[in-house]
Structure 1
Amino acid sequence: MTEESRRTAVERPPLGRPGGLDTGLTRLGLCSVTFRRLPAAEVARRAANAGLEVIEWGADVHAPAGEPGTIRAVREVSDRYGLACCSYGSYFRATRAELAAFPAVAQAAVVLGAPRVRVWAGGTGSRSVLPDERYETVLCLREAARIAADHGLELAPEFHGGTLTDTVASTLRLLDEVGADNVRTYWQPPQDTPDEEALAGLVELGDRVTAVHVFSWWPGHNRLPLADRWDLWAPALGLLAGRGVEALLEFVPGDDPAVLAREAQTLRRAADQSPSGQT
């Protein structure tokens, strides 16, 4: 752990309390991967102009862990536009082959000012994974969690198909198997899952959810305006109210930057709903 990492870790809130948990407010933001083709400065400018508070910088295009100069420049961009980096969107798959590179991922998160690293829980779905592969993924996540904790970071696998967090049951099992206080999970609506079933899963995950990826797909990968799935997202944001999580827009229709302000406004309206549905 470098001196910069140690100093930043001391300044962070306690583990397990990232984002807006001090106030309990849901912070609204953007995943930078939504606009992969835009420069980081343009992504940040548009997010700020849309009234968003936080950003999850992706490691694939905008903030690669192996490019410290780029990471510092992205941090400067975030600061310039008044955006907090709520998480570092890594693509660490929790395999032995990738474990040696994870300290660089953690260091990149520190420089970005992110309290959390998003990871992937292996590369095989829970229904087809073999016991030995699942065990190795657990061990790798446990070691990554230890490294993250040394840097003052939380670790959170994406709730995603083709990984061990592809179902609620497998996600809860995985979190228990890893057994680290600084590991929680993302949530997003499973593809083609009816609203009531998706919301029931969110309820079951409870306070183990640290952030959600917000998008409106139906059916399949068909991208709709967020308002078209209001009956999913207004209740979902109601369930998350008071927990201090982040709701992060991802995959807007047509990957069109021009619709971001509209989508952010819909997200804000959903977040402003009380559990009874009254503003």
Structure 2
Amino acid sequence: MIPLAPALCSVTFRQLPPEEIVALARQAGLAAIEWGGDVHVPAGDVALARHVRRITEEAGLLPASYGSYLYPPDHGLEDFRRVLDTCHALGSSNVRIWPGRRNRPSATYDAAERSEAAGLIRAMGELAGGAGISVSLEYHPNSLTDETGSAANLMDAIAHANVHLYWQPRPGLPLDEACEEIARIGTRVSHVHVFAWDGARRRYALAEHAKWWSAVFAALPESRFEGVRYAMLEFVRDDAPEAFLADAATLRHLLDRQGRAPANA
């Protein structure tokens, strides 16, 4: 198992201001936060990004990643430049983008459309690399990474060393299928989004899925991603801070058993 450090996706608490999210992450003993661009740190608001960076770092946490909510090819390079400026102000070394048009299944794309998306993501990876920022693609239903074969083919088409994949399970994904996915794309995975849902998208305490996640963490191979790799908690039961704190304790326990990555490596 490769070492992972525990983190939080700020979108878990869209209803809370950044100050409260920082306090919760610190209380939970996490290492970092992925800040979302939809609510907490909108792209282009450099002053706010600097403020969020300051309060994050003053709490002993890292602003590890920026969830941009860009959807290439719906968004282009000018949109991405604004995102990179925000990343720089936030102090994030990674930016997450959505591969393809929002809420469109990969099976509906023809070859030309896939090529267009891959080419634009490749250009974004090149541009980000010049700024010292890695690009990671959301691994999500209704995107070009909604199925493992599509995700692998997209990465082959992008063919850029600065573009990586996230990984997360489709709700209710059986463990054997999860391990098959990881075996196929794991060397391209930067970070992991962690949650405990069933196929009906009902949420559970992470402790109830601890054996499942322990097996997944153990199956993750080494990656070509060179930075610290994070297991990021996302979307807890009832959106409750108490549920998050319990899940964070479970996550830290799981990662400590496997060998946690140092946050400042």
Query: Which residues in structure 2 correspond to 1:38-187 (within 5 Å)?
Result: 38-95=16-73, 97-123=75-101, 124-187=104-167
How many Å separate the matches in 1 of 2:16 and 2:64? 20
How many Å separate the matches in 2 of 1:59 and 1:132? 29
Would the alpha carbon gap of residues 97 and 113 (structure 1) be closer, same or farther in structure 2, given more than 3 Å must change? closer
AA partner of residue 233 (structure 2): L
How many Å separate the matches in 1 of 2:97 and 2:30? 23
| TM-score of the pair, normalised by structure 2 | 0.90
How many Å separate the matches in 2 of 1:68 and 1:194? 42
Runs of 4+ in 1 over 6 A off after TM superposition: none
How many Å separate the matches in 1 of 2:11 and 2:97? 14
Match of residue 214 from structure 1: 194
Would the alpha carbon gap of residues 256 and 242 (structure 1) be closer, same or farther in structure 2, given more than 3 Å must change? same
Note the C-alpha offset of 1:96.
Answer: 5.3
How many Å separate the matches in 1 of 2:105 and 2:38? 22
Match of residue 226 from structure 1: 206
More displaced 10-residue stretch of structure 1: 238-247 or 84-93: 238-247
- Does structure 1 residue 247 correspond to structure 2 residue 227? no
SS in 1 for 2:64: strand
Identity score, percent: 37
| TM-score of the pair, normalised by structure 1 | 0.86
AA partner of residue 75 (structure 1): R
How many Å separate the matches in 1 of 2:97 and 2:14? 18
AA partner of residue 253 (structure 2): R
Q: Show CA shifts across 1:170-191 (max 9, x none).
A: 1111111111110110000112
How many Å separate the matches in 2 of 1:131 and 1:103? 27
Gaps of 5+ in 1: 1-23
How many Å separate the matches in 2 of 1:226 and 1:187? 17
Note the C-alpha offset of 1:157.
Answer: 0.6
Match of residue 248 from structure 2: 264
More displaced 10-residue stretch of structure 1: 265-274 or 245-254: 265-274
How many Å separate the matches in 2 of 1:235 and 1:193? 13
Note the C-alpha offset of 1:242.
Answer: 6.7
Match of residue 15 from structure 1: none
Count residues with an aligned counterpart: 252
Counterpart contact for 1:26–1:242, Cα < 8 Å: no
Match of residue 174 from structure 2: 194
Note the C-alpha offset of 1:56.
Answer: 0.2
How many Å separate the matches in 2 of 1:206 and 1:250? 20
Note the C-alpha offset of 1:80.
Answer: 1.4
SS in 1 for 2:7: strand
| Structural RMSD (CA) | 1.6
Gaps of 5+ in 2: 260-265
Note the C-alpha offset of 1:200.
Answer: 1.8
Note the C-alpha offset of 1:88.
Answer: 0.5
AA partner of residue 7 (structure 2): G
More displaced 10-residue stretch of structure 1: 220-229 or 234-243: 234-243
Counterpart contact for 2:76–2:120, Cα < 8 Å: no
